Amino acid sequence: MLKNVTLEVLRNTPVSDQAVEIVERKGVGHPDSICDAVMDRISVSLSREYIKRFGEVLHHNIDKGMIVAGRVEKKFGAGRVTKPMEIIIGDRATFTAGRVKVPVASIAKGSVAAWFSENLRHIDPKKDLKVRVVLEPGSVELADIFSRKGRLKGANDTSASVGYAPLTATEEAVLKTEKFINSPAFKLEFPETGEDVKVMGVRRGAELDLTVACPLICTMVESEKDYFRKKSAVLKALKSFASDFPFTGTTINYNTLDARGRGVGGVYLTLLGTSAEDADSGQVGRGNRVNGVISLNRPMGTEAAAGKNPVSHVGKIYTVLAHRMAAELYERIDGIKEVYVWLLSQIGSPIDEPKQVYVMIVPGGRIDKKRVEKGVLSILDEYFRGIGTFTGELSRGEYPVC
């Protein structure tokens, strides 16, 4: 039976009822999102290789990485790369087990090339990107966790994570807006839009204000006049999409740095679809939380889930698990307006034995705490009894972390 579980019922004002709510979403082409997604792809690829060769995931953490912005020349109707972007892949991995060597560097480079080919249409990984692998073997003590007997691995860190449910209407709107812009259908209608989308939403009462940044591909824009004509068409589509949001009014602000009459310097153009081409570097852990948004009204952990190994690093396991637990509690227990789940590990303890579980419930009205507590304990116990299956799913990349 799960120990050290604390349930608290509070009469806080739910986030959806607070006067102001601020939510951000970084799209697939944002440098920070690129780092998170690429490093996690490498972790998944390594996990599969370890399982193939040894029957289990071996020690690795690919969560210290960054993308260094390159250089490009842009003008209306044309552009060229003058200095490629560079991906730096860092931290630790298992290179040998017994007499078997694992081609860690080639797996990492292959994962990078595959991800860019699949997600950023205008980037040729062979020409526009350099990959530097600075991975090294892990410390003896942390690597030893993987050779210890037991049904589950011990936690390789003392770490805390938090998840919550449900998403508010503001969080949903911000998330959906970015996904709409980067959807295949939108790119077919507006192929001139890049993937480096950022959406910042602020709800004031029942009014939503969205600021959207999305560049246009310079080779598909003939002039400043053409830019503003295409920008107007994109804005019209965004306003139409947002008209179904459940707010009394929604304002869309699009590419607000633009200034007419300044030529290329007054418009948001891109050659490759991402600001990592020449304007902005990126780093693991600075992107979206594992539920897809950065919500300033919510508690947030400090762990970067992307790239961490999926069988012992609680910074990944507990972060994803906390959100899934919160969603399950919200769906299955009546009377809950909001629910938060905190999970704390202790290094060396099995991952199904957290040092502390703290569940905070904000009710929608009067509730029977004993009934709620019984339901909470039952659901939490289900999840921790099935954590071995869950880590296997994480190993296969079945849960997005950005």
Domain ranges of the chain: 16-26+168-283
* pLDDT at residue 141, rounded to an integer: 64
* pLDDT at residue 272, rounded to an integer: 98
Q: Which of 168, 253, 178 is nearest to 209 (CA)?
A: 253
User: Which residues in the chain show pLDDT less than 50?
Assistant: none
Strand partners for 26 = 198
* pLDDT at residue 1, rounded to an integer: 73
Contact status, residue 39 vs residue 65, Cβ threshold 8 Å: yes
* pLDDT at residue 248, rounded to an integer: 98
* pLDDT at residue 227, rounded to an integer: 98
285: DSSP letter: T
Q: What's the CA gap between 47 and 57, in Å, rounded?
A: 5
Query: Three-state SS for 122?
Result: coil
The fold adopted by the segment(s) 16-26+168-283 is: GMP Synthetase; Chain A, domain 3 (3.30.300)
Q: What's the CA gap between 284 and 191, in Å, rounded?
A: 28
Pair of tokens at residue 323: 């959100």
Pair of tokens at residue 373: 């507590």
* pLDDT at residue 322, rounded to an integer: 98
* pLDDT at residue 143, rounded to an integer: 66
Q: What's the CA gap between 203 and 305, in Å, rounded?
A: 28
DSSP 321-390: HHHHHHHHHHHHSTTEEEEEEEEE--TTSBTTS-SEEEEEEEESS---HHHHHHHHHHHHHHHHHTHHHH
